[in-house]
């Protein structure tokens, strides 16, 4: 996939070489007019939270609508639209370039906030912060992602929420769907790794319990077989081993931490 695309300006007809992920802020090099329907989501007439399926459906619909063969009397404009539609789909259908594009959109939409943040952090104003004194400023998009990750991990670890539930909560907070899916997947995966590791300890205890109980039962049974006396079935250690085994299996299968009371 090319990192640059040739975009035809719908105002003056000039072809422009534009970085795909910078289309949101790009202007025509000749007439300096911004490209209409500037965002790739607007080009495909979809919401920024659209799923992969919705993106594909929108692309097929618009590609059929603006195919140059269907506009023999106005092929220049139709071709320009068709190229923009293909460019939008090439970026949004790939998870990596879509994340990069979303970051561009996010940074652009937070320009005013970033300027305010920088002014408040300027030592000349007498209100310098720790980050300003070291010459470092936080990226608003990174702060936003960090907040989403923190919230998702809290839902996964503290509240035992599954992936679907975490995705729905992140979407309600305005998180794009593909980012919400990635964050939820990582959160649940991390939780399962931790609880699976935690399950090793009760599994070892269950083996020890079964071993002690079974060993006592076996030796007393062997002695009783020789002497004709009674033998002892050691229920206690084996029952303890069974409880620990079930607890370990619960962690392995469901990957959930015990609910806090």
Final residue in a domain of this structure, among 108, 126, 146? 108
Question: What pLDDT sits at residue 113?
Answer: 42
Residue where one domain finishes, among candidates 69, 85, 108 = 108
Q: Determine the Cα–Cα distance for residues 101 and 208; give it in Å rounded to an integer.
A: 55
In a domain, 38, yes or no: yes
Whether residue 141 lies inside any domain: the answer is: no
**In this structure, what token pair is assigned to residue 58?**
């929108």
146 HSE (CA, 13 A, CB side): 6
List the CATH number of the domain containing 103.
Answer: 1.10.287.110
Domain contains 202: yes
Q: Which two tokens stand for residue 252?
A: 């392995």
**CB 144: neighbour CB atoms within 10 A?**
16
- CA–CA distance, 179 with 13 (Å, rounded to integer): 36
| Residue 99: how many other CB atoms lie within 10 Å | 16
Residue 261, pLDDT score: 39
149 belongs to a structural domain: no
- pLDDT value of position 146: 77
Helix (H, G, I), strand (E, B) or coil at 21: helix
Alpha carbon distance 85, 252 (integer Å): 46
Quote the number of domains for the chain: 2
Between CA 151 and CA 168 the distance in angstroms is 12
Q: Is residue 152 part of a domain?
A: no
Residue 146 forms part of a structural domain? no
Range of the domain at 68: 4-108
**Under 8 Å between Cβ of 130 and 49:** no
Radius of gyration, CA atoms only, the chain: 30
Q: Tell me the backbone φ, ψ of residue 25, rounded to 5 degrees.
A: -120, 10
**CA angle 105-107-108, nearest 5°?**
65
In a domain, 103, yes or no: yes
How far is CA 79 from each of CA 4, 138, 165, 177, 252, rounded to the nearest angstrom?
17, 41, 43, 30, 55
pLDDT < 70: residue spans in the chain: 1-13, 20-25, 34-38, 106-142, 254-261
Asked if residue 26 belongs to a domain, the reply is yes
Listed as own residue / partner, the contacts of 61-68 with beta carbons closer than 8 Å and 24 or more positions apart are 63/89
* CB atoms inside a 10 Å sphere around CB 164: 11
Cβ distance 142 to 169 under 8 Å? Answer: no
Question: What is the C-alpha to C-alpha distance for residues 215 and 77, in angstroms, rounded to an integer?
Answer: 85
The tokens describing 243, both together, are 């409880």
Residue finishing a domain among 108, 127, 158:
108
């Amino acid at each position: 996939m090319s990192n640059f695309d040739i975009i035809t300006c719908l105002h003056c007809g000039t072809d422009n070489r534009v970085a795909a992920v910078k289309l949101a802020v790009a202007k025509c090099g000749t007439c300096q007019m911004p490209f209409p329907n500037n965002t790739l989501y607007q080009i495909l007439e979809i919401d920024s939270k659209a799923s992969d399926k919705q993106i594909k459906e929108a692309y097929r619909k618009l590609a059929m609508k603006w195919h140059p063969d269907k506009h023999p009397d106005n092929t220049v404009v139709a071709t320009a639209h068709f190229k923009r539609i293909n460019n939008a789909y090439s970026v949004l259908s790939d998870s990596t370039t879509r994340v990069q594009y979303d970051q561009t959109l996010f940074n652009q939409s937070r320009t005013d906030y970033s300027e305010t943040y920088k002014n408040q952090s300027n030592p000349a104003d007498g209100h310098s912060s720790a980050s300003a004194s070291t010459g470092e400023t936080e990226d608003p998009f990174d702060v936003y992602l960090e907040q989403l990750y923190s919230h998702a991990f809290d839902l996964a670890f503290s509240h035992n929420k599954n992936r679907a539930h975490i995705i729905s909560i992140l979407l309600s907070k305005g998180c794009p769907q593909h980012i919400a899916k990635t964050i939820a997947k990582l959160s649940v995966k991390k939780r399962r790794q931790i609880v699976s590791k935690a399950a090793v300890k009760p599994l070892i205890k269950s083996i020890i319990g079964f071993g002690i109980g079974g060993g006592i039962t076996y030796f007393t049974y062997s002695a009783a077989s020789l002497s004709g006396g009674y033998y002892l079935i050691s229920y206690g250690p084996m029952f303890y081993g069974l409880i620990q085994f079930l607890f370990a299996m619960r962690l392995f299968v469901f990957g959930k931490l015990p609910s806090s009371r």
